[in-house]
C-alpha cells in the first residue's frame, strides 16, 4: 500500500479510501465486515462514511462500521475514520445542517453508532449558507477540545467556500479544513477550475468521490455487451452514457490497448493528479476492492496522460485562463 499525508497535516492515509456507502443498503453486514477486514489486510487504513448513509434507514452504515470496530483486534486503532454531517436525520427543526446545536448532536449520535469515542476526520457534507463560519468553527473547536474529533474537512464545497472557511479559521487561530471531498473523475472535471487550485493553495487534501462516475468509466459498454453490467446501467452512468458514448468508446479502446481494466486506469489517472490524496472507492464485494487496488500499480507517462486529455479534455485548465486570456 502507498500512503500520503492528508493535505498539510502529518496524518498518513492510504492512497485508496474505502467508501462505506453501500454497507447496509446494498452489501450485507457480513459482507461489509469481510470487505473491511480485506481492506486492512491490504493496508487500506482510510475509511469514509456519513451519518445519512443507509438511506431509508439513516445511520445504518455507521452502525455496521461500529459493530465491526466492536470486534476489537485493533480494528479501530488501525483505521483513520472519516464521517460526515449535514443531511437531515429527522423531520424536526435542527435535525440537519451546520448549526452549533446540530454539530454537537450529530457528532454525539455518530460516535454512538460508530462505537468509538473519537472521529479522526469530521466532514461537513455540504455548505450551509445560513450559518456563520464563526459559529461553525466554534462548535468544531469545542468538539476538538472534548477529544471527540481530531480534524475537520468539507465536501461539495466550491473554491470560494474553501477560501471563506479557511480564512475564517485563520482569523480564529484554528487549523480549519484539512480535506475536501468533491466529485472528480474524467467526465466531471469542473473542480479543476477553482476547487483544486484553492485546495492546493491552502494545503487541503482532495478526496474525489464517484471516481468512476457511477460506473461509466469502469467499462460500461464492454460490460453491457457481455451481460455483466449492473450498477453501470443505471443512475449517473446511464444518464451520461449516451451523451459521452464516443469518448467512452475511445476510452475503453485506450484501456484495451494497455491491457488494463478501464476502472483501474480511471483511478490511476486520479492518483496522478497533484492535489488528490485518495479517491474513494465503494466496493460492493471483495473482488471490487481487489480490482480498485490494482490502480496503485499503474503508471501513466506523459504520453498516456496527454492521450487521456484528448479523450476527456476537461475545462481547459484552471480559472481564469480556462475561459479568459
Catalytic residues: 53
Asked whether 80 and 46 are in contact (CB, 8 A), the reply is yes
Asked whether 212 and 183 are in contact (CB, 8 A), the reply is no
Radius of gyration of the chain (CA): 19
Report H helices in 70-183.
100-114, 133-145, 159-172
Say how far apart CA 11 and CA 71 lie, in whole Å: 25
295-308 burial: b if 16+ Cβ within 10 Å, else e = bbebebeeebeeeb
Q: How many alpha carbons lie under 13 Å from residue 28 in its C-beta half-sphere?
A: 3
Taking CB atoms within 8 Å and a gap of at least 24, the contacts of 29-32 are 29/64, 29/67, 31/285, 31/286, 32/64, 32/65, 32/68
Greatest alpha-carbon pair distance for the chain in Å reads 58
Say how far apart CA 219 and CA 196 lie, in whole Å: 27
Strands 17-19 and 280-281: parallel
Amino acid at each position: 500500500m502507498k500512503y500520503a499525508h492528508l493535505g498539510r497535516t502529518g496524518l498518513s492515509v492510504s492512497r485508496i479510501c474505502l467508501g462505506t456507502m453501500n454497507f447496509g443498503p446494498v452489501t450485507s453486514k457480513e459482507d461489509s465486515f469481510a470487505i473491511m477486514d480485506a481492506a486492512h489486510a491490504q493496508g487500506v487504513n482510510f475509511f469514509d462514511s456519513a451519518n445519512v448513509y443507509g438511506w431509508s434507514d439513516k445511520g445504518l452504515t455507521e452502525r455496521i462500521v461500529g459493530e465491526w470496530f466492536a470486534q476489537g483486534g485493533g480494528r479501530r486503532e488501525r483505521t483513520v475514520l472519516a464521517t460526515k454531517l449535514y443531511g437531515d436525520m429527522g423531520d424536526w427543526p435542527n435535525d440537519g445542517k451546520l448549526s452549533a446545536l446540530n454539530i454537537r448532536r450529530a457528532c454525539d449520535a455518530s460516535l454512538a453508532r460508530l462505537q468509538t469515542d473519537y472521529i479522526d476526520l469530521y466532514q461537513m457534507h455540504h455548505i450551509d449558507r445560513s450559518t456563520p463560519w464563526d459559529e461553525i468553527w466554534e462548535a468544531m473547536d469545542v468538539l476538538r477540545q472534548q477529544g471527540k474529533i481530531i480534524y475537520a474537512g468539507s465536501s461539495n464545497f466550491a473554491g470560494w467556500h474553501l477560501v471563506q472557511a479557511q480564512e475564517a479559521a485563520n482569523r480564529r487561530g484554528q487549523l480549519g479544513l484539512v480535506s475536501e471531498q468533491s466529485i472528480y473523475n474524467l467526465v466531471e472535471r469542473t473542480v479543476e477550475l477553482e476547487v483544486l487550485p484553492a485546495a492546493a493553495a491552502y494545503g487541503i487534501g482532495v478526496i474525489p468521490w464517484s471516481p468512476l462516475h457511477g460506473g461509466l468509466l469502469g467499462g460500461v459498454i464492454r460490460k453491457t455487451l457481455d451481460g455483466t453490467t449492473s450498477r453501470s446501467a443505471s443512475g449517473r452512468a446511464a444518464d451520461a452514457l449516451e451523451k459521452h458514448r464516443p469518448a467512452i468508446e475511445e476510452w475503453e479502446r485506450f484501456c484495451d490497448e494497455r491491457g488494463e481494466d478501464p476502472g483501474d486506469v480511471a483511478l490511476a489517472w486520479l492518483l496522478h493528479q497533484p492535489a488528490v490524496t485518495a479517491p474513494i472507492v465503494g466496493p460492493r464485494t471483495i473482488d471490487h476492492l481487489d480490482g480498485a487496488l490494482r490502480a496503485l500499480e499503474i503508471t501513466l507517462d506523459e504520453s498516456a496522460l496527454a492521450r487521456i486529455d484528448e479523450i476527456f479534455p476537461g475545462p481547459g485548465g484552471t480559472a481564469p485562463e480556462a475561459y479568459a486570456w
